[in-house]
Amino acid sequence: MIMFRILFSEAISAIASNKSRTFLTLLGIVIGIASVITVIAAGNGGKSIIMKEFQGLSPDTIYLSPNYRDWQNNHSFRIDKINDKDIDDLEKYVPQIKDIAPVISMSTIVKTADNQEKVSITGTNNNYINFVEYKLDYGRIFSRNEVKYQAKVAIIGSLIADKFFPGINPAGKYFTAFGTPFQVIGVLKRKEKSNSISLSDPDKGYNNSIVIPIGVFKRLFGNRGGYSEVLAKVKDISKTNETKKIILSVLAKNHGKWDNKYDKFMIIEMKEQIGMINKVTGSVTIGVALLAGIALLVAAIGIMNIMLVSVKERTREIGIRKALGAKRTHIMLQFLIETILLCGGGGLLGLGISFLASFLIGRFAHWPLIFNPVTAIIAVILSVITGLLSGLYPATRAAKLPPHEALRYE
C-alpha cells in the first residue's frame, strides 16, 4: 500500500512536470468522451421528440387504411375506402376490437358574427377521445347518441376559442360551418409546443382544430366514398396478429381482393411503429456515436505515442530506479497510473463539458438532450480502459529496459 502511494505521488509529479504535454493529452480524451456522451444524449432527445408525437396512440392501437403499399406496385388496382357497413361489421364480427373510430377531415370557412376564417374540421365518433390526447379545458365531448342522431355540436381548440370568441366562455355559443350553425359544447386545453424542432406544431393542428360528430359531417359534406383512416383498439395485445387476420377477412368479404390475391386494406400496429422508431433512432445514435468514438481512438493512439516518448526521455531515470532495487512491476505500474490518471481525468472533464454543451444546445437550439447516467458512467470507465490499454505497451517497454543499458542512455 505504501509503495502504491509512492508510485501514485511520482505519477502525479511526472504529469505536473510537463503541463503542455498533459494538456494536449487530456484534450484528445476530453473531446472524444464529450462527443460520445453529447451525441448519445442528443439522440435520446430526438427520440423523445418523435415519441411525443405518438403519446396519444398506445401500443394496443391499430390503424386501418387502404392498401397503398401494394397499390404503389400496381396502379391499375382500384383504391377502396372503409365504409359504414365495414365499421358496423367490424364491431359485430370482431369482438377482439374494443373501440373503433373512423376519421375524416376537410377545410371550410367557419363564421361567427364578428369573424370568419378557413379552418380544418374533423368528423369522428365519441370513441376518438380514447385514441387522441384530448384534455378539455371546460365543457364535454359529444355522446354516442349525438353521433347517431347527427347533433350539430362541436369541440373546439384553444386558438379557435380565442379567434372566434375572444374574452368569453365559448361553451353554449354558436358558429357556422357548411352553412349550418353548430353549438360549442367543449374547449380543448391548450397544448404548448415544447420544442422548436418537432414533427407537428400544436398551433397548426390540435389548438386550431374543430371536431364534430361524423354523422352530421357526412350529411353536410359527404364522406367522399368512405374513410381513408380508421383507428381501432384491440382488447388483448398478445392476440393482435389474430385480430388483424379477422379484420382483413371481414373487409375482404365486403370488398374482395385485388387479383383474388392482394388485400385491399392494410393494418399498421402502433406497437410496430414505435418499435421501428426506436430501432431507427437507436441505429442512427449508435452510428453517430461510433463516429464520435473515432476521436477517442485517435486520442488513445496519441496517448500511446506520448507515453512512448516519455519512456524514452526517462530511460536514465528508469535505469537509476532499477539499479536502486525497483522491480519491473513498480516501473510498469507507475506508467500505467500516469495514463489512467490522464484518461480518467479527461473522461471526467469530458463529462462536465458534455453537460455544458447540453445546456447550450438546449438553450439556443431548443433541442432536448437526455442523459442516461449509465451511458455517462460507461463513457468514463471507457476512458479509463483507454488509458490502461494505450499505456500498457509503453509501461511494459519501460519495465523491460535492462538497468545497465538505461544507465548508459544519454
Instruction: Summarize pLDDT for 91-123 with one digit per residue, the tens.
Output: 999 999 988 999 988 888 999 988 888 888 999
For β-strands 180-188 and 153-156, DSSP reports them as: parallel
Please state, for a pLDDT cut of 70, what percent of the chain lies above it: 80
Q: How far is CA 292 from CA 25, 186, 278, 377, in A?
A: 17, 51, 21, 17
Give the separation between CA 386 and CA 391, rounded to whole angstroms: 8
Average pLDDT, the chain: 79
What end-to-end distance do the CA atoms of the chain give, in Å? 33
Give the separation between CA 96 and CA 186, rounded to whole angstroms: 31
pLDDT band at 355 (very low <50, low <70, confident <90, very high): confident
- pLDDT of 198 over the 50 cut: no
Q: Which of 136-140, 236-240, 363-367, 373-377 has the lowest mean pLDDT?
A: 363-367
pLDDT band at 196 (very low <50, low <70, confident <90, very high): very low
Instruction: Summarize pLDDT for 392-407 with one digit per residue, the tens.
Output: 777 677 667 676 565 5
For β-strands 262-263 and 136-139, DSSP reports them as: unpaired
Given a contact cutoff of 8 angstroms between Cβ atoms, the answer to whether 306 and 90 are in contact is: no
pLDDT band at 343 (very low <50, low <70, confident <90, very high): confident
Burial per residue of 355-393, b for 16 or more beta-carbon CB atoms within 10 angstroms, e otherwise: bebbeebbeeeebbbebeeebbeebbebbbebbeebbbe
Burial of 395 (0-12, 13-18, 19+ CB in 10 A): buried
> Can you give the three-state secondary structure of 295-316, one letter per residue?
HHHHHHHHHHHHHHHHHHHCHH
